């Protein structure tokens, strides 16, 4: 849609109808995007089998995380956790940026603990309290925490680049404000996973930021849609 038309439509189309149109477009895009991703990475062809194995290995810790530490709307979904573990096992990232520590940190630590790849995991948060909770949870379930850093400290490490990035940091306002920096942190050939893409205006703003970074956005709605209608997308360098 043209940039000049958008504000006009926003004024004349009721919010409920805009939401319906958004959901319709998102749902329509999802299966095509998943097929595109499978064509690019044929290893994903048997996603169902890979996902079942990954989910089984995460489920008990996920249940524990939701019972003892967080709530479903704040922790990543089991669907996204599963996708991340499948992606790690297939693409074997060495250096991972986990923005918004929590259960996602446990997923990446599980990958590191069960892989022959030497993994360098950076788990970052804008809340020191949540970094401490992540550290405690990881230890409780027998995982060995790696780097746990406040966002402000991470910002000073300008030169660091990663093979896999999960962007799930802070509030949606923080998420959007930090997105340009985050998109610049991926190695060529790397992947950036953006959670909460069901949310507007984040979705539209994230699409524009990804385009400005000459990256392509691929919906992961087909495999990450959860009980509260959340889903993620993948930004890859073009
Ligand atoms: C969407 S959460 C990040 C979730 C994390 N990736 C995970 O898998 O658990 C975004 C931010 O909210 C904060 N947070 C995490 N869990 C929370 C909770 N249960 N209540 C309030 N804030 C929380 C943290 O500071 C985190 O950076």
Atom of ligand 1 nearest to the CA of 195: 1
> Phi and psi (nearest 5°) for 235?
-105, 125
Residue that is written with structure tokens 């703003």 in the block: 205
SS3 of 100-148: CCCHHHHHHHHHHHHCCCCCEEEEEECCHHHHHHHHHHHHHCCCCCCEE
pLDDT in tens, 199-227: 999 999 999 999 999 999 999 999 999 99
Question: What pLDDT, on a 0 to 100 scale, did the predictor assign at position 2?
Answer: 55
pTM above 0.85, yes or no: yes
Tell me, in angstroms, the distance from the centre of ligand 1 to residue 130's CA: 7
Output b/e per residue, 33-66; b: 16+ Cβ within 10 A: bbeebeeeeeebeebeebbeebbeebeebbeebe
Residues spanned by the domain of 233: 5-237
Question: What pLDDT, on a 0 to 100 scale, did the predictor assign at position 171?
Answer: 98
Question: What pLDDT, on a 0 to 100 scale, did the predictor assign at position 11?
Answer: 78
Lowest mean per-residue pLDDT among 13-27, 146-160, 196-210:
13-27
CATH number at residue 233: 3.40.50.150
- 6 pLDDT tier (thresholds 50, 70, 90): confident
Tell me, in angstroms, the distance from the centre of ligand 1 to residue 75's CA: 6
pLDDT at 3 over 70: no
Atom of ligand 1 nearest to the CA of 70: 19
Residue 128 structure tokens: 């020191």
Number of domains composing the chain: 1
pLDDT at 38 over 70: yes
pLDDT at 27 over 90: yes
Distances (CA, A) of 58 to 62, 97, 104, 189, 236: 6, 19, 11, 27, 26
Distances (CA, A) of 154 to 11, 17, 183, 234: 40, 41, 14, 22
pLDDT in tens, 91-139: 999 999 999 999 999 999 999 999 999 999 999 999 999 999 999 999 9
Using CA positions, which residue lies closest to atom 4 of ligand 1? Answer: 75
The set of residues, in sequence order, having a beta carbon less than 8 Å from that of 106 and lying 6+ positions away, is 58, 61, 65, 134, 137, 138, 141, 143
Atom of ligand 1 nearest to the CA of 127: 25
Residues with CB under 6 A from ligand 1: 70-71, 74-76, 100, 102-104, 125-127, 130, 168-170
Q: Helix (H, G, I), strand (E, B), or coil: what is residue 153? A: helix
């Amino acid at each position: 849609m043209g940039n000049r038309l958008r504000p006009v439509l926003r004024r004349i189309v009721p919010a409920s109808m805009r939401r319906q149109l958004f959901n319709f477009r998102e749902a329509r895009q999802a299966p095509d995007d998943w097929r595109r991703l499978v064509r690019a990475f044929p290893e994903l062809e048997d996603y169902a089998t890979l996902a079942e194995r990954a989910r089984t290995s995460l489920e008990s810790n996920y249940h524990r995380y939701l019972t003892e530490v967080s709530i479903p709307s704040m922790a990543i979904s089991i669907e996204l956790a599963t996708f991340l573990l499948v992606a790690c096992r297939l693409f074997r990232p060495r250096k991972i940026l986990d923005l918004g520590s929590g259960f996602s940190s446990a997923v990446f630590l599980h990958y590191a603990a069960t892989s022959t790849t030497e993994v360098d995991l950076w788990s970052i948060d804008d809340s020191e309290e949540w970094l401490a909770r992540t550290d405690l949870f990881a230890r409780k379930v027998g995982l060995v925490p790696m780097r746990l850093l406040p966002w402000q400290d991470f910002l000073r490490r300008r030169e660091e680049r990663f093979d896999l990035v999960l962007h799930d940091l802070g509030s949606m306002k923080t998420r959007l404000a930090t997105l340009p920096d985050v998109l610049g942190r991926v190695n060529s050939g790397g992947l950036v996973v953006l959670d909460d893409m069901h949310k507007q205006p984040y979705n539209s703003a994230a699409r524009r930021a990804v385009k400005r970074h000459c990256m392509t956005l691929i919906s992961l709605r087909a495999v990450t849609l959860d009980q509260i209608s959340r889903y993620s997308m993948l930004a890859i360098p073009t």
